[in-house]
Structure 1
Amino acid sequence: MKQFGRAMRLAARYPGTVAAVWATSVLVAVLWAANLAAVWPVVDAVMQGESIPSWLVREIEQGDQALADLRSQRLAAARRMSISGPETAAQLAREITNLRTREGLTTAENQRWRSIQPFADRWLPDTPFETLACVCAFLMVGTLVKNVFRIFNQLLVSRLGFLIAFDIRKEYFRHLLRLDLGEFTDRGRGDHMTRCTTDIHNTGYGVQTVFGQAICEPLKMIACTIGAAWFSWRLLLLVMVVAPLAVLMIRWLGKSLKRANRRAMEELSGVYESLTETLSAVRLIRSFGREPSERSRFNKGLKHYYNRQMRIATYDSLTSPLTENVGVAMVILGAISGGYLVLNEQTSLFGIPISDTPLTHGQMTAFFAMLAGMGDPARRLSGVFNIIQSAVASSERVFEVLDRQPSITDPESPQAIPETWRTLRFENLSFQYNSEALTLEGVNLEVRRGETIAIVGPNGCGKSTLLSLPPRLYDPCEGAVYLGEVDLRDARLRDIRKRIGIVSQQALLLSDTIAENIAYGKPGASHEEIVEAAKRAHAHTFITQRLADGYNTHVGPGGGRLSGGQRQRIALARAILRDPEILILDEATSQIDMESEQLIQKTLAEFTRDRTTLLITHRPSTLTLADRIVVMDHGRIIDVGTADELEGRCDMFRRLCCSPLLESA
């Protein structure tokens, strides 16, 4: 509930909307109770053949007569007390005190009727039928006005809920972009998709429910409670004796619903994860004929989610009957008690005073109407119970991520990287993704500015991990990476990454046009600059000749409308346009045909000249670009030298780069 409270507090950003919600809710509640109270004059006046003015006259006359009777009884008791013994005198004194209290109440009630009488005589009709018509008109107008305020209330509540969901989703996405990369590999895309969509929707809908029905319905109950208490607060206390049992049972249901909703969201995350994984690997699944097993796996996840939903439905189904039974019990208790008092013209039950004067049929009917007016909002509230519990569970999942702080952040006092830095140094580096074995261990390497370094090694030796450290996609567990004399952990992330361009083996493109993907590393680039970068990456020909819309062609999600080689050339054009100080190429030409590769090699030879370049490759043609070659194995650097030097002394290099089959690569 604490995390859902944080979502609720976001409403403070919109004080005008919140104030309007409260104002309209109060007006709806007051008009709700006022409409129910209209039954009183109908029963006590109209059905007795009287108008309200004549009924007021009769009430005042009866009040005066009752007041006179009370005074006579008090005086008689005072006379008896003067001649009685001590015990009788004490009893008579209590009786006199009670009579004085009843006199005061009767006097106050008479004064209230007398204050209303001039208004009734002047403005209200003086025949029973006209009075009935007036009451009906009041009900009609009151209902219309109430419903107008209800419409405004619902619109305001929806606006508030949508705005809060908008704010949370915006903050969630912003925070998601700052989290460590391990966050996405450990949890998967499905979990974050569920949290950013379903969980935030549930949270926003829960806020809507709280500011909507969870405020308006209790206010209607409060208004009806005040109305019932005005007729007889003691009788109201009597009929509410069953309420604590309902509170205890609803509390138990609330805990069960919250737990079930949280587990259901976790199961839904698994369904999303399975779906996204299947859609991204559909070629693999069809190639190996694994559709039945994937259907089975997906159905298994759906079955778990279905079971959670049924448990929620079971708990939710208990809420409304429980509330209804309590409401019926209150009405029955009130009917028996009130009926006894009215029919027998009594003011007490079992010696317990219930009212100061006998209740009339109209007052008792209005009292029942108020009880019914309390029951209907209670029934509606039972319907929102599951919504709020679902919102509580979802908000905990959302804020769990929002409270998770990334380990890679800007330092409090960042150091500026000098424009004339001379070296990129890896000093005594060690790194591990988890508590298992080290991925990198004791790595030391110095790269001079403008130098091209190639890194070779068998799969899993840590090559890509090593090149993930300069842009601070990860930070080393031990040691440091220095650009000049500045530890990269002491520099601003934006300052580091604007100097680096990356082309990876799995060229990543966004679902946008080719032009926008090329310009992604240099926002605001002109069309001429984009075309020039594409030409240097030998992408211009296929863009203009093979694609109908040229540079305005949408590449689809992940660049799926392009081949792997085309995507790599677009990624290379993006890096060329960025014109970085440090270029990182991770198997950047692995999916390019041999003819295109020869052309791109010439581009890279020109582009990497006097530019610090780190590249991973096993292709001899690409190795010719390197000034030095670093050989890695099991997370360590085992040799560094030129191609000729390594060919003569390093078995690992010969196996990786000189064998025709490249068996270990």
Structure 2
Amino acid sequence: MINFLRVIKLSLVNKWKITALLVNSLIIGLLWGCSISAVYPFVEVVFSGNTIETWLVSEIEKTDEKIAELQITCSDLKLKVGDSGNSTQLRNELDTHSRRLIAEEKANQLYRTVMPWIEGRVPQTPFGTLVFVMSTLIMITIIKGVCLVLNSVLVAQIAQRTALVMRRQFYSSAVKMDQLTIDQKGTSAMQTMLIYNLNLVTAGLISLYGKGTREPLKMLVCLVLAACISWKLLLLTMVVAPIAGFVINRISQHMRTAAQRELGGIAGVLQSTMESLSALRTVRIFNRERTEKARFNRFSKTLYNLGVKQAFFDSLLRPTTELAGMVCVAIALLAGGYLVLNDTTHLLGVRMSDRPMTVSSVFLFFAMLAGISEPARKMSEIYNTLVRADVSSKGLYDFFEVEPEIQTPKNPSQLPLHSKGIRFKSVNFAYNLKQITLKRLDLIIPFGQTVALIGPNGSGKSTLINLLARFYDPQWGAVLIDGVDIKNVNPRHVRKQMAMVTQDPVLFKGTVLENIQYGNMNATSDDILRAAEMARVTDFLDVLPKGFDTMVGDRGNTLSGGQRQRIALARAIVADPRILFLDEATSQVDVASEQLIHDSLKQFLKQRTTIIISHRPATLEIADRVIVLEQGQIEEDLSSTEYFERYGIKLDRKRVA
């Protein structure tokens, strides 16, 4: 439970709520013991035809008589001991009767102390006493119910507050994590961890601070009350507890292993579901519904088997605790029955009590054991929840503790407003050891220049952008902006001067206006409108139901690909970056609109360094320079005019009116 203990430690910031919860749970425990203790008046008073007052008077008279009898007996035994010298048997008898005398005197004193508080304040008939006891039980139940509601609220506040902190910690870790680690883990696996693992941890906290706090206190109250009747008899009945604890510990080891495998199986099911549903069009166009169903069914079957195995081990806990409880009760009844039937205080030569036990006291002792067994059963039920929470906690903390490759330097260098140039200096980079993406690449891009990168897939085009944006760091060499190695700069300060538009842009659930404003939250309405006009977003606003206030849907799925690209371009423009990345940024836009966008961008690009990835001649036209990459190295470095002339490319300047 080491990992879950870390979660518990995190929850301790709610110290006042935890204190209130403990006090509340103790009250519930006391009320639980009081409600069980009501058995005693039923047996000893009401069903004997007495009232509480008459029963107390009767007990005082009985103890007075017994005290007088024991005093005479003890006096006689003292004389006999004196006459016989060191008679062991007589001394043992004297010791037994002396203890009995002390016990009777204490009982008598207790009855006399209670008597003034009872006289005239309780019902004077047996039925009235019964009504009084039942009314007290109902009142205790009402108070206990209110305490349980408050208890549940406090538990929820503590558990959900801790989950909130962990959720924020998870997101913070995910945002800080380097892109390579995110790519390796997979976003669907991370989503599964955030949702499922955190839910199991929350359930563990609820069980721990709920039943895990109330039930032990209820057990403690019953144990104390049972010990007050006969602590030696209580010890005798508890002999099976170590055996039960050993068995439960062995079961828990199997439960932990099963929980780990089950967690992995659930992660597989959720990941498979998210992947197939997010790519449902691809699944359908290739008629792969059966393939995806088979994959899902395979994961589900594995999860089914793991769930059955987990349920088997979980089911062993309840009968184990019930058997232990039944053995305890059986021992108590056998031992108590022997003491009552033989009117003795000793069992197998061992003194069990100072006063002989009565039927009602044995019955009350039995009721206390029953009051212990019920919370014990509930405690066994939460054990599986705690095991799962511990396994889930390990997964979360393993995620939290991953050190990102992209680190902020302790003493970061200052990066001035970009105005000189960008340099890739002898850069080597590989996503894995078997595939080197960039090989000792050297490249200088002066400020204000628009550079187009072209080349086959895997040649390193997108990698250059990723390195410049410091999504990754090169294994060798350096990336410099205005002579400053960006490895020595806070990544946030590097990206503060950048904006990006990709081939498949991501829009967030919200309005068109909110998605454009995402590039600069301080942008004015005029800035947003100017950016929208430049990206030709205004060309299709009229066909949207609410113009700028139209909801774009999840990931912008209510818009066409070209519309999403234009909104993403407007978002980048409104950010007013010094360095702009356009990765096939207009690939889904129609030719006429693309030409209009390029005409608008020409003036905008003059005051910033722009890197374009595209093979479309219309896009290359706005570039000052075309760089051809091949297997991570620069194959050609030409002006756009030279490139068009060398490859005989002619542009169609016709526009659609």
TM range (shorter): over 0.9
1:239-638 correspondence to structure 2 within 5 Å: 239-419=237-417, 421-544=419-542, 546-638=543-635
Amino acid at match of 1:320: R
Tell me, in whole angstroms, the C-alpha distance in 1 between the residues paired with 2:239 and 2:486: 69
1:215-226 correspondence to structure 2 within 5 Å: 215-226=213-224
Offset, 1:104: 2.8
Tell me, in whole angstroms, the C-alpha distance in 1 between the residues paired with 2:569 and 2:409: 31
Tell me, in whole angstroms, the C-alpha distance in 2 between the residues paired with 1:483 and 1:210: 54
Q: Runs of at least 4 residues of structure 1 off by over 4 A? A: 643-648, 654-660
CA contact (8 A) 1:458 1:656 kept: no
CA contact (8 A) 2:255 2:387 kept: yes
Q: What does residue 22 of structure 1 align with?
A: 22
Offset from partner CA, 1:19-58 (integer Å, 9 cap, x none) = 2211111111101111111221322223323222232233
Tell me, in whole angstroms, the C-alpha distance in 1 between the residues paired with 2:77 and 2:329: 39
CA contact (8 A) 2:438 2:632 kept: yes
Identity over aligned pairs, percent? 38
Tell me, in whole angstroms, the C-alpha distance in 2 between the residues paired with 1:83 and 1:115: 39
Offset from partner CA, 1:363-401 (integer Å, 9 cap, x none) = 111111111111111222222222222222222222221
Offset from partner CA, 1:128-185 (integer Å, 9 cap, x none) = 3332222222222222212221121122212222222222223222322221222332
Q: What does residue 655 of structure 2 align with?
A: none
Offset, 1:527: 2.8
CA contact (8 A) 1:199 1:394 kept: yes
Amino acid at match of 1:196: L
Offset from partner CA, 1:266-299 (integer Å, 9 cap, x none) = 2122122212221222222211211111111111
Per the alignment, in what secondary structure is the counterpart of residue 441 of structure 1? strand
Tell me, in whole angstroms, the C-alpha distance in 1 between the residues paired with 2:460 and 2:149: 62
CA contact (8 A) 1:425 1:482 kept: yes
Q: What does residue 66 of structure 1 align with?
A: 66
Give the alignment's TM-score, normalised by structure 2.
0.94
Tell me, in whole angstroms, the C-alpha distance in 2 between the residues paired with 1:450 and 1:584: 13
Tell me, in whole angstroms, the C-alpha distance in 1 between the residues paired with 2:187 and 2:270: 8
CA contact (8 A) 1:193 1:272 kept: no
Q: What does residue 639 of structure 1 align with?
A: 636
Per the alignment, in what secondary structure is the counterpart of residue 313 of structure 2? helix
Pair 1:98–1:346, CA change in 2 (3 A): closer
Unaligned runs of 5+ in 1: 649-653, 661-665
Question: 207-216 or 509-518: which moved more?
Answer: 509-518
Is 1:118 the counterpart of 2:116? The answer is yes
Amino acid at match of 1:253: I
Residue-pair matches, total: 652
Per the alignment, in what secondary structure is the counterpart of residue 177 of structure 1? helix
Offset, 1:194: 1.7
Offset, 1:606: 2.0
Amino acid at match of 1:353: R
Pair 1:306–1:657, CA change in 2 (3 A): farther
CA contact (8 A) 1:457 1:656 kept: no
Unaligned runs of 5+ in 2: 653-657
Offset, 1:95: 4.3
CA contact (8 A) 1:63 1:106 kept: yes
Q: What does residue 236 of structure 2 align with?
A: 238
Amino acid at match of 1:633: E
Offset, 1:445: 1.2
Offset, 1:498: 1.4
Offset, 1:421: 4.2
Q: What does residue 154 of structure 2 align with?
A: 156
Q: What does residue 34 of structure 1 align with?
A: 34
Tell me, in whole angstroms, the C-alpha distance in 2 between the residues paired with 1:598 and 1:174: 41
Offset, 1:522: 0.8
Question: 24-33 or 346-355: which moved more?
Answer: 346-355
Tell me, in whole angstroms, the C-alpha distance in 2 between the residues paired with 1:592 and 1:46: 91
Offset, 1:472: 1.0
CA contact (8 A) 2:26 2:214 kept: yes
Amino acid at match of 1:54: T
CA contact (8 A) 1:568 1:588 kept: yes
Q: What does residue 132 of structure 1 align with?
A: 130
Question: 173-182 or 215-224: which moved more?
Answer: 173-182
Tell me, in whole angstroms, the C-alpha distance in 2 between the residues paired with 1:204 and 1:420: 47
Q: What does residue 209 of structure 2 align with?
A: 211
Per the alignment, in what secondary structure is the counterpart of residue 506 of structure 1? coil
Aligned equivalent of 1:167, options 153, 165, 168: 165
Pair 1:318–1:19, CA change in 2 (3 A): same
Offset, 1:420: 5.9
Q: What does residue 56 of structure 2 align with?
A: 56
Per the alignment, in what secondary structure is the counterpart of residue 551 of structure 2? coil
Is 1:46 the counterpart of 2:46? The answer is yes
Offset, 1:443: 1.3
Tell me, in whole angstroms, the C-alpha distance in 2 between the residues paired with 1:41 and 1:567: 78
Q: What does residue 663 of structure 1 align with?
A: none
Offset, 1:614: 1.2
Per the alignment, in what secondary structure is the counterpart of residue 522 of structure 1? coil
Tell me, in whole angstroms, the C-alpha distance in 2 between the residues paired with 1:554 and 1:208: 38
Amino acid at match of 1:484: D
CA contact (8 A) 1:451 1:611 kept: yes
Amino acid at match of 2:219: M
CA contact (8 A) 2:99 2:354 kept: no
Per the alignment, in what secondary structure is the counterpart of residue 460 of structure 1? coil
Tell me, in whole angstroms, the C-alpha distance in 2 between the residues paired with 1:593 and 1:443: 35
Offset, 1:658: 9.6
CA contact (8 A) 1:619 1:657 kept: no
Offset, 1:6: 2.1
Q: What value does the CA root-mean-square deviation take over the aligned residues?
A: 2.3
Offset, 1:231: 0.6
Per the alignment, in what secondary structure is the counterpart of residue 631 of structure 1? strand
Tell me, in whole angstroms, the C-alpha distance in 2 between the residues paired with 1:129 and 1:625: 101
Offset, 1:528: 2.8
CA contact (8 A) 1:28 1:150 kept: yes
Amino acid at match of 1:321: P
Q: What does residue 651 of structure 1 align with?
A: none
Amino acid at match of 1:556: G
